[in-house]
Amino acid sequence: MVTNVSEFQWLAKEKLPKMVYDYYASGAEDQWSLQENRKAFERIRFRPRVLIDVSKMDMSTTVLGYKISMPIMVAPTAMQRMAHPEGELATARAASAAGTAMTLSSWATASVEEVASVGPGLRFFQLYVYKDRSVVEQLIRRAERAGFKAIALTVDTPRLGRREADIKNRFVLPPGLSLKNFEGLNLGTMSKTQDSGLASYVAGQIDRTLSWKDVKWVQSMTTMHVLVKGVITAEDARMAVEAGARGIIVSNHGARQLDYVPGTIDALEEVVEAVGGKIPVFLDGGIRRGTDVLKALALGAAGVFVGRPVPFALATDGEAGVKKLLDILRDEFELAMALAGCTTISEIKRCHVQTEADRTALAVAKALAHKAPTYSRL
Protein backbone atom coordinates (compact mmCIF):
# COMPACT_ATOMS: atom_id res chain seq x y z
CA MET A 1 0.00 0.00 0.00
CA VAL A 2 1.33 3.43 -0.96
CA THR A 3 1.35 5.75 2.05
CA ASN A 4 3.32 8.74 0.72
CA VAL A 5 4.24 10.35 -2.57
CA SER A 6 7.89 9.27 -2.59
CA GLU A 7 6.90 5.60 -2.63
CA PHE A 8 5.51 5.98 -6.15
CA GLN A 9 9.04 6.60 -7.42
CA TRP A 10 10.41 3.45 -5.79
CA LEU A 11 7.58 1.36 -7.30
CA ALA A 12 7.95 2.99 -10.72
CA LYS A 13 11.66 2.21 -10.80
CA GLU A 14 10.83 -1.49 -10.53
CA LYS A 15 8.34 -1.32 -13.42
CA LEU A 16 9.82 1.09 -15.96
CA PRO A 17 12.60 0.39 -18.48
CA LYS A 18 15.84 2.03 -17.36
CA MET A 19 15.85 4.57 -20.19
CA VAL A 20 12.33 5.72 -19.32
CA TYR A 21 12.87 5.82 -15.57
CA ASP A 22 16.12 7.75 -15.97
CA TYR A 23 14.40 10.25 -18.27
CA TYR A 24 11.72 11.02 -15.68
CA ALA A 25 13.98 10.91 -12.62
CA SER A 26 17.23 12.60 -13.61
CA GLY A 27 18.35 16.21 -13.57
CA ALA A 28 21.08 18.20 -15.29
CA GLU A 29 24.82 17.58 -14.91
CA ASP A 30 25.78 17.06 -11.22
CA GLN A 31 22.09 17.09 -10.23
CA TRP A 32 22.84 19.54 -7.41
CA SER A 33 19.70 21.55 -8.08
CA LEU A 34 17.68 18.33 -8.26
CA GLN A 35 18.67 17.58 -4.66
CA GLU A 36 18.30 21.23 -3.65
CA ASN A 37 14.67 21.32 -4.78
CA ARG A 38 13.99 18.95 -1.88
CA LYS A 39 16.59 20.09 0.64
CA ALA A 40 15.41 23.69 0.44
CA PHE A 41 12.00 22.64 1.74
CA GLU A 42 13.68 20.81 4.63
CA ARG A 43 15.29 24.04 5.86
CA ILE A 44 11.92 25.75 6.39
CA ARG A 45 10.31 25.36 9.81
CA PHE A 46 6.72 25.91 10.90
CA ARG A 47 5.47 28.34 13.56
CA PRO A 48 2.07 26.77 14.29
CA ARG A 49 -0.72 28.48 16.20
CA VAL A 50 -2.79 26.50 18.70
CA LEU A 51 -6.23 26.57 20.34
CA ILE A 52 -7.92 27.41 17.05
CA ASP A 53 -11.17 25.71 16.05
CA VAL A 54 -10.24 23.53 13.05
CA SER A 55 -13.40 21.41 13.01
CA LYS A 56 -14.34 22.86 9.63
CA MET A 57 -11.72 23.08 6.89
CA ASP A 58 -11.86 24.59 3.40
CA MET A 59 -8.93 23.99 1.04
CA SER A 60 -10.60 25.38 -2.06
CA THR A 61 -9.17 28.34 -3.91
CA THR A 62 -9.36 30.15 -7.23
CA VAL A 63 -6.71 30.10 -9.93
CA LEU A 64 -6.99 32.70 -12.70
CA GLY A 65 -10.64 33.08 -11.76
CA TYR A 66 -11.42 29.34 -11.80
CA LYS A 67 -12.32 27.51 -8.60
CA ILE A 68 -10.38 24.37 -7.73
CA SER A 69 -10.70 22.04 -4.75
CA MET A 70 -7.17 22.63 -3.49
CA PRO A 71 -4.09 24.69 -4.44
CA ILE A 72 -2.32 21.56 -5.76
CA MET A 73 -2.24 21.19 -9.55
CA VAL A 74 -0.60 18.91 -12.10
CA ALA A 75 2.54 20.23 -13.78
CA PRO A 76 3.44 19.45 -17.40
CA THR A 77 5.49 16.27 -17.75
CA ALA A 78 6.30 15.02 -21.22
CA MET A 79 5.62 11.71 -22.92
CA GLN A 80 3.43 10.12 -20.26
CA ARG A 81 2.54 7.11 -22.40
CA MET A 82 6.07 5.89 -21.71
CA ALA A 83 4.80 5.35 -18.16
CA HIS A 84 1.35 3.93 -18.94
CA PRO A 85 -0.62 3.16 -22.15
CA GLU A 86 -3.26 5.79 -21.30
CA GLY A 87 -0.68 8.42 -20.39
CA GLU A 88 -1.99 11.98 -20.37
CA LEU A 89 -5.60 10.79 -20.77
CA ALA A 90 -5.42 8.99 -17.44
CA THR A 91 -3.81 12.03 -15.81
CA ALA A 92 -6.52 14.32 -17.16
CA ARG A 93 -9.28 12.12 -15.77
CA ALA A 94 -7.57 11.87 -12.37
CA ALA A 95 -7.05 15.63 -12.11
CA SER A 96 -10.66 16.28 -13.08
CA ALA A 97 -11.88 13.78 -10.48
CA ALA A 98 -9.75 15.55 -7.87
CA GLY A 99 -11.27 18.90 -8.84
CA THR A 100 -7.98 20.48 -9.83
CA ALA A 101 -6.08 21.69 -12.89
CA MET A 102 -3.88 19.68 -15.22
CA THR A 103 -1.18 21.15 -17.45
CA LEU A 104 -0.54 19.30 -20.72
CA SER A 105 3.00 19.29 -22.08
CA SER A 106 3.72 20.36 -25.65
CA TRP A 107 5.63 17.08 -25.84
CA ALA A 108 2.70 14.98 -24.78
CA THR A 109 1.95 11.59 -26.24
CA ALA A 110 -1.73 12.60 -26.39
CA SER A 111 -2.96 15.65 -28.29
CA VAL A 112 -4.91 18.58 -26.87
CA GLU A 113 -7.98 17.25 -28.68
CA GLU A 114 -7.59 13.77 -27.21
CA VAL A 115 -7.23 15.16 -23.70
CA ALA A 116 -10.30 17.37 -24.18
CA SER A 117 -12.27 14.30 -25.30
CA VAL A 118 -12.02 12.58 -21.89
CA GLY A 119 -14.49 15.06 -20.40
CA PRO A 120 -14.62 18.39 -18.57
CA GLY A 121 -11.83 19.72 -16.42
CA LEU A 122 -9.64 22.77 -15.88
CA ARG A 123 -6.64 22.41 -18.19
CA PHE A 124 -3.61 24.50 -19.12
CA PHE A 125 -1.26 23.97 -22.05
CA GLN A 126 2.52 24.19 -21.65
CA LEU A 127 4.09 25.79 -24.71
CA TYR A 128 7.55 25.65 -26.24
CA VAL A 129 8.13 28.20 -29.00
CA TYR A 130 9.33 26.53 -32.18
CA LYS A 131 11.39 28.12 -34.94
CA ASP A 132 8.38 27.74 -37.20
CA ARG A 133 6.09 30.29 -35.56
CA SER A 134 3.11 29.11 -37.62
CA VAL A 135 3.29 25.83 -35.71
CA VAL A 136 3.12 27.78 -32.44
CA GLU A 137 0.07 29.70 -33.63
CA GLN A 138 -1.64 26.45 -34.60
CA LEU A 139 -0.95 24.93 -31.18
CA ILE A 140 -2.31 27.96 -29.32
CA ARG A 141 -5.50 28.04 -31.39
CA ARG A 142 -6.01 24.28 -31.05
CA ALA A 143 -5.60 24.48 -27.28
CA GLU A 144 -8.12 27.31 -27.04
CA ARG A 145 -10.64 25.46 -29.23
CA ALA A 146 -10.18 22.40 -27.03
CA GLY A 147 -11.21 24.42 -23.98
CA PHE A 148 -7.85 24.97 -22.33
CA LYS A 149 -7.80 28.05 -20.12
CA ALA A 150 -4.14 29.10 -19.90
CA ILE A 151 -0.80 28.84 -21.67
CA ALA A 152 2.23 28.01 -19.53
CA LEU A 153 4.92 29.58 -21.70
CA THR A 154 8.22 27.87 -20.90
CA VAL A 155 11.04 30.41 -21.06
CA ASP A 156 14.04 28.57 -19.61
CA THR A 157 14.77 26.20 -22.50
CA PRO A 158 16.50 27.99 -25.39
CA ARG A 159 18.70 24.88 -25.34
CA LEU A 160 18.17 21.62 -23.54
CA GLY A 161 20.16 21.18 -20.31
CA ARG A 162 22.86 18.51 -20.27
CA ARG A 163 21.07 15.45 -18.96
CA GLU A 164 23.78 12.85 -18.73
CA ALA A 165 21.45 9.92 -18.08
CA ASP A 166 19.71 10.61 -21.39
CA ILE A 167 23.08 10.82 -23.15
CA LYS A 168 24.22 7.49 -21.74
CA ASN A 169 20.90 5.85 -22.63
CA ARG A 170 20.73 7.57 -26.05
CA PHE A 171 17.21 8.54 -25.11
CA VAL A 172 14.53 8.40 -27.77
CA LEU A 173 10.77 7.85 -27.68
CA PRO A 174 9.98 4.12 -27.58
CA PRO A 175 8.52 2.57 -30.76
CA GLY A 176 4.85 3.30 -31.36
CA LEU A 177 4.85 6.63 -29.51
CA SER A 178 5.03 10.14 -30.93
CA LEU A 179 4.65 13.75 -29.88
CA LYS A 180 0.96 13.82 -30.75
CA ASN A 181 0.52 17.59 -30.95
CA PHE A 182 2.95 17.68 -33.88
CA GLU A 183 1.70 14.75 -35.96
CA GLY A 184 1.27 15.73 -39.59
CA LEU A 185 3.72 18.63 -39.19
CA ASN A 186 6.92 16.61 -39.65
CA LEU A 187 7.82 17.63 -36.12
CA GLY A 188 6.60 14.69 -34.08
CA THR A 189 9.53 12.30 -34.15
CA MET A 190 13.06 12.20 -32.80
CA SER A 191 15.90 10.17 -34.21
CA LYS A 192 18.31 7.81 -32.49
CA THR A 193 21.69 9.55 -32.25
CA GLN A 194 25.04 9.17 -30.55
CA ASP A 195 23.71 11.70 -28.02
CA SER A 196 20.23 12.17 -26.56
CA GLY A 197 17.58 12.05 -29.25
CA LEU A 198 15.58 14.67 -27.35
CA ALA A 199 18.56 17.04 -27.18
CA SER A 200 19.02 16.74 -30.94
CA TYR A 201 15.31 17.33 -31.49
CA VAL A 202 15.32 20.48 -29.34
CA ALA A 203 18.43 21.83 -31.07
CA GLY A 204 16.68 21.51 -34.41
CA GLN A 205 13.24 22.83 -33.49
CA ILE A 206 13.18 25.23 -30.51
CA ASP A 207 13.54 28.96 -31.22
CA ARG A 208 16.56 30.39 -29.39
CA THR A 209 15.53 33.95 -30.27
CA LEU A 210 12.60 33.87 -27.81
CA SER A 211 12.51 37.13 -25.83
CA TRP A 212 10.22 39.19 -23.61
CA LYS A 213 8.42 40.71 -26.59
CA ASP A 214 7.15 37.24 -27.43
CA VAL A 215 5.10 37.10 -24.23
CA LYS A 216 2.95 39.84 -25.72
CA TRP A 217 2.99 38.06 -29.10
CA VAL A 218 1.61 34.88 -27.54
CA GLN A 219 -0.99 36.83 -25.54
CA SER A 220 -2.09 38.68 -28.69
CA MET A 221 -3.23 35.41 -30.27
CA THR A 222 -5.49 34.14 -27.52
CA THR A 223 -7.96 34.95 -24.78
CA MET A 224 -6.27 32.34 -22.59
CA HIS A 225 -4.14 33.53 -19.71
CA VAL A 226 -0.40 33.45 -20.43
CA LEU A 227 1.74 32.30 -17.51
CA VAL A 228 5.51 32.67 -17.74
CA LYS A 229 7.08 29.42 -16.55
CA GLY A 230 10.75 29.35 -15.55
CA VAL A 231 11.28 32.58 -13.60
CA ILE A 232 13.48 32.43 -10.47
CA THR A 233 14.74 36.00 -10.03
CA ALA A 234 13.21 39.33 -9.04
CA GLU A 235 14.58 40.98 -12.18
CA ASP A 236 12.76 38.55 -14.47
CA ALA A 237 9.62 38.70 -12.33
CA ARG A 238 9.39 42.46 -12.91
CA MET A 239 10.02 41.92 -16.64
CA ALA A 240 7.20 39.37 -16.76
CA VAL A 241 4.78 41.88 -15.25
CA GLU A 242 5.87 44.54 -17.73
CA ALA A 243 5.47 42.08 -20.61
CA GLY A 244 1.84 41.50 -19.69
CA ALA A 245 2.06 38.02 -18.19
CA ARG A 246 -1.07 36.98 -16.28
CA GLY A 247 0.97 34.92 -13.84
CA ILE A 248 4.40 33.46 -13.07
CA ILE A 249 5.41 29.89 -12.38
CA VAL A 250 8.58 29.83 -10.30
CA SER A 251 10.37 26.85 -11.79
CA ASN A 252 13.85 25.54 -12.56
CA HIS A 253 12.41 22.99 -14.99
CA GLY A 254 12.63 20.23 -12.43
CA ALA A 255 16.37 20.96 -12.16
CA ARG A 256 16.80 19.68 -15.72
CA GLN A 257 18.23 22.85 -17.27
CA LEU A 258 20.94 24.96 -15.58
CA ASP A 259 22.45 23.15 -12.61
CA TYR A 260 23.41 25.05 -9.43
CA VAL A 261 20.36 27.30 -9.47
CA PRO A 262 18.42 27.61 -6.19
CA GLY A 263 15.71 25.24 -5.15
CA THR A 264 12.46 26.80 -6.28
CA ILE A 265 11.13 27.33 -2.76
CA ASP A 266 14.26 29.40 -2.03
CA ALA A 267 13.56 31.55 -5.10
CA LEU A 268 9.84 31.96 -4.41
CA GLU A 269 9.80 34.81 -1.91
CA GLU A 270 12.10 36.99 -4.02
CA VAL A 271 9.74 36.65 -6.98
CA VAL A 272 6.63 37.24 -4.88
CA GLU A 273 8.06 40.45 -3.42
CA ALA A 274 9.12 41.72 -6.86
CA VAL A 275 5.63 41.14 -8.30
CA GLY A 276 4.00 43.00 -5.42
CA GLY A 277 0.64 41.31 -5.80
CA LYS A 278 0.11 42.47 -9.39
CA ILE A 279 -0.18 38.91 -10.74
CA PRO A 280 -0.33 35.50 -9.05
CA VAL A 281 2.85 33.52 -8.49
CA PHE A 282 2.85 29.73 -8.55
CA LEU A 283 5.58 27.22 -7.77
CA ASP A 284 6.71 23.91 -9.17
CA GLY A 285 9.66 21.73 -8.24
CA GLY A 286 10.21 19.46 -5.27
CA ILE A 287 6.64 19.13 -3.97
CA ARG A 288 6.41 15.75 -2.22
CA ARG A 289 4.42 16.44 0.94
CA GLY A 290 1.37 18.39 2.03
CA THR A 291 3.71 20.29 4.33
CA ASP A 292 5.60 21.47 1.22
CA VAL A 293 2.37 22.97 -0.09
CA LEU A 294 1.75 24.80 3.19
CA LYS A 295 5.30 26.20 3.15
CA ALA A 296 4.92 27.44 -0.42
CA LEU A 297 1.61 29.18 0.30
CA ALA A 298 3.00 30.77 3.46
CA LEU A 299 5.82 32.24 1.36
CA GLY A 300 3.38 33.75 -1.11
CA ALA A 301 2.54 31.13 -3.72
CA ALA A 302 -1.03 31.13 -5.05
CA GLY A 303 -0.73 27.41 -5.70
CA VAL A 304 1.73 24.65 -6.56
CA PHE A 305 2.27 22.25 -9.44
CA VAL A 306 3.36 18.64 -8.96
CA GLY A 307 5.63 17.19 -11.66
CA ARG A 308 7.72 14.01 -11.43
CA PRO A 309 5.42 12.14 -9.04
CA VAL A 310 2.72 12.09 -11.74
CA PRO A 311 4.45 9.76 -14.26
CA PHE A 312 5.70 7.66 -11.34
CA ALA A 313 2.11 7.29 -10.09
CA LEU A 314 0.98 6.53 -13.64
CA ALA A 315 3.57 3.78 -13.94
CA THR A 316 2.46 2.36 -10.60
CA ASP A 317 -1.29 2.21 -11.18
CA GLY A 318 -2.45 4.33 -14.11
CA GLU A 319 -5.33 6.71 -13.50
CA ALA A 320 -5.94 5.25 -10.04
CA GLY A 321 -2.30 5.92 -9.19
CA VAL A 322 -2.53 9.61 -10.11
CA LYS A 323 -5.81 9.95 -8.21
CA LYS A 324 -4.16 8.31 -5.19
CA LEU A 325 -1.22 10.72 -5.49
CA LEU A 326 -3.52 13.74 -5.43
CA ASP A 327 -5.56 12.30 -2.57
CA ILE A 328 -2.42 11.78 -0.49
CA LEU A 329 -1.27 15.35 -1.04
CA ARG A 330 -4.75 16.68 -0.31
CA ASP A 331 -5.01 14.75 2.97
CA GLU A 332 -1.49 15.73 4.06
CA PHE A 333 -2.11 19.37 3.22
CA GLU A 334 -5.39 19.44 5.14
CA LEU A 335 -3.67 17.92 8.18
CA ALA A 336 -0.78 20.37 7.96
CA MET A 337 -3.20 23.30 7.74
CA ALA A 338 -5.13 22.12 10.79
CA LEU A 339 -2.01 21.55 12.88
CA ALA A 340 -0.70 24.99 11.89
CA GLY A 341 -3.99 26.56 12.97
CA CYS A 342 -5.39 27.46 9.54
CA THR A 343 -8.90 26.61 8.37
CA THR A 344 -8.86 28.35 4.97
CA ILE A 345 -6.23 29.19 2.37
CA SER A 346 -6.51 32.90 3.18
CA GLU A 347 -5.45 32.22 6.77
CA ILE A 348 -2.05 30.86 5.72
CA LYS A 349 0.41 33.69 6.38
CA ARG A 350 4.14 34.40 6.29
CA CYS A 351 4.21 34.22 10.09
CA HIS A 352 3.46 30.49 9.93
CA VAL A 353 6.97 29.67 8.67
CA GLN A 354 10.55 30.44 9.59
CA THR A 355 13.21 30.27 6.89
CA GLU A 356 16.95 29.89 7.27
CA ALA A 357 17.30 33.62 6.58
CA ASP A 358 14.81 34.35 9.36
CA ARG A 359 16.84 32.28 11.80
CA THR A 360 20.07 33.99 10.79
CA ALA A 361 18.53 37.45 11.22
CA LEU A 362 17.14 36.45 14.61
CA ALA A 363 20.53 35.15 15.75
CA VAL A 364 22.22 38.38 14.66
CA ALA A 365 19.59 40.50 16.44
CA LYS A 366 20.05 38.50 19.64
CA ALA A 367 23.83 38.81 19.45
CA LEU A 368 23.61 42.58 19.00
CA ALA A 369 21.13 42.88 21.87
CA HIS A 370 23.46 41.04 24.24
CA LYS A 371 26.50 43.10 23.31
CA ALA A 372 26.43 45.86 25.92
CA PRO A 373 28.11 49.15 25.03
CA THR A 374 31.34 49.94 26.87
CA TYR A 375 32.40 53.42 27.98
CA SER A 376 35.78 54.67 29.13
CA ARG A 377 35.75 56.62 32.39
CA LEU A 378 37.71 59.84 32.33
- Residues marked as catalytic: 253
Asked whether residue 30 carries a pLDDT value surpassing 70, the answer given is yes
Q: To the nearest whole percent, how much of the chain has pLDDT over 90?
A: 88
Domain range for 170: 6-370
117 found inside a domain: yes
319 found inside a domain: yes
- Tell me: is residue 284 an annotated ligand-binding position: yes
378 found inside a domain: no
Mean pLDDT over residues 38-50, rounded? 98
- Write out pLDDT tens, residues 294-352: 999 999 999 999 999 999 999 999 999 999 999 999 999 999 999 999 999 999 999 99
- Tell me: is residue 76 an annotated ligand-binding position: yes
- Tell me: is residue 285 an annotated ligand-binding position: yes
- Write out pLDDT tens, residues 112-129: 999 999 999 999 999 999
* Of 29-33, 251-255, 257-261, 360-364, minimum mean pLDDT range: 360-364
258 found inside a domain: yes
The CATH number linked to 181 is 3.20.20.70
Band of residue 283 on the pLDDT scale cut at 50, 70, 90? very high
Q: To the nearest whole percent, how much of the chain has pLDDT over 70?
A: 95
- Tell me: is residue 105 an annotated ligand-binding position: yes
Q: Please give the pLDDT value at position 375.
A: 56
Mean pLDDT over residues 242-252, rounded? 97
- Tell me: is residue 229 an annotated ligand-binding position: yes
Mean pLDDT over residues 5-22, rounded? 98
225 found inside a domain: yes
Mean pLDDT over residues 187-206, rounded? 70
269 found inside a domain: yes
Asked whether residue 373 carries a pLDDT value surpassing 70, the answer given is no
- Write out pLDDT tens, residues 46-81: 999 999 999 999 999 999 999 999 999 999 999 999
318 found inside a domain: yes
Rounded to whole angstroms, what are the CA distances from 366 to 195, 279, 363, 375? 55, 36, 5, 21
- Write out pLDDT tens, residues 348-372: 999 999 999 999 988 898 888 877 5
Band of residue 4 on the pLDDT scale cut at 50, 70, 90? very high
Based on the structure, what is the number of domains in the chain?
Answer: 1
- Tell me: is residue 78 an annotated ligand-binding position: yes
375 found inside a domain: no
Asked whether residue 211 carries a pLDDT value surpassing 60, the answer given is yes
- Write out pLDDT tens, residues 164-183: 999 999 999 999 999 999 98
- Write out pLDDT tens, residues 86-115: 999 999 999 999 999 999 999 999 999 999
- Tell me: is residue 206 an annotated ligand-binding position: no
- Tell me: is residue 251 an annotated ligand-binding position: yes
Band of residue 196 on the pLDDT scale cut at 50, 70, 90? low
Q: What is the mean pLDDT of the chain?
A: 94
